[in-house]
Structure 1
Amino acid sequence: MASDHDMLWRRCVHLGRVLLPLVDQEPWRQDRRRETLRARDIDTALGERLIEVFAALAAHAVAVDTSVSASEFDALPLRVVAEAATGKRDYELLAGLPDTFADDHDEQAVNVFRLYTYRGGQYSHQLFLLGRELRHALIVLAEHSPAPSPTCGEVFRRAGEPGLSQ
């Protein structure tokens, strides 16, 4: 049976996975993001995967800092996740991660993030740029939400609506 911490991480990963498909409901946003990544010499597939894991790491860091359990995660405001994306140091986002990962792709993405964090230089700069892209994506979702203070749960509800591709 999975621990609450493992379940919390899975909720955070799910947020990261649904984020870009929701933002990309307006196709021009995907084109703009990919153009921006290419202009910054960031491979688009890797950049988008790092944005996903960045979202998971930012949400996880906020949840751990505020002692939010997996069952309370849906109430976490998007605004605080967006603030963590650019307000926390890269290495701070890595604190408190699970010892093992249920998904090898998630573990690999976290390891790439970890490598970029500790290599510094251009890699650290790329993480900074990806953090800005993540913050922008979260703000777009918040602005398009009918809720006055959108939460992670609102994102999950929108991702589950019929007709939305993931």
Structure 2
Amino acid sequence: MTSDHDMLWHRCAYLGRVLLPLVDKEPWRQARRHENLQAWGIDTAAGERLIETFAALAAHAVAVDASLSVAGLDAVSLRVVADAATGKRDYELLAGLPSTFADDRDGHIINVFRLYIYKGGQYSHQLTQLSTELRHALLVLAERAPIPSPTCGDVFRRAAEAGLTQ
């Protein structure tokens, strides 16, 4: 049986996975992001996976800090997640994570994220650059929304409409 905490992480990870495909509805955004990643010396595929993970970690941190349930995540503003992405220390994003992950890829990329934090130096700088890129992506989605304060639930609805599966 899956715990509420594991389900919360799964939902946050889904937010991370759908974020970039939704932002990339305007193809030039992906090209710009790829240029940024290359300029920063970050492999494109690894950088995009880290951005997805950063989004999941930021959403999870907000939910854990507010003691939200899985359903409560839907009401979290994208701007709050964007603020957490750049306002929390990297290691603060790791607090409250599940001890194991149903998807081995999540466990692996979390370990990569931890390694970046612990190595410091250029890796820490790259995390800062990735957090800025994530914040930008979240704000792009927020600005595109037809409502004034879009939430994670709105992103989930757009992802379902776009056929992005969980």
Q: Distance in 2 between matches of 1:162 and 1:127?
A: 29
SS of structure 2 residue aligned to 1:160 = helix
Q: Which runs of 5+ in 1 are unaligned?
A: none
Q: Distance in 2 between matches of 1:106 and 1:158?
A: 23
**1:70 match:** 70
Letter in 1 for 2:117: T
Say if 1:61 and 1:95, in contact at 8 Å, map to a contact too. Answer: yes
Instruction: Note the C-alpha offset of 1:161.
Output: 1.1
The TM-score normalised by the length of structure 2 is 0.97
Letter in 2 for 1:50: L
**2:82 match:** 82
Q: Which consecutive segments of 4 or more residues in structure 1 shift more than 3 A?
A: 162-166
Q: Distance in 2 between matches of 1:93 and 1:62?
A: 9
Q: What is the 5 A alignment of 1:1-166?
A: 1-162=1-162
Letter in 2 for 1:5: H
SS of structure 1 residue aligned to 2:161 = coil
Q: Distance in 1 between matches of 2:165 and 2:66?
A: 32
SS of structure 2 residue aligned to 1:2 = coil
Q: Which runs of 5+ in 2 are unaligned?
A: none
Q: Distance in 2 between matches of 1:2 and 1:58?
A: 22
SS of structure 2 residue aligned to 1:68 = coil
Letter in 2 for 1:81: V
How many residues are matched?
Answer: 166
Deviation track 1:4-28 (CA, whole Å, cap 9, x = no partner) reads: 1011000100000000000000000
CA RMSD of aligned residues (A): 1.4
Say if 1:91 and 1:117, in contact at 8 Å, map to a contact too. Answer: yes
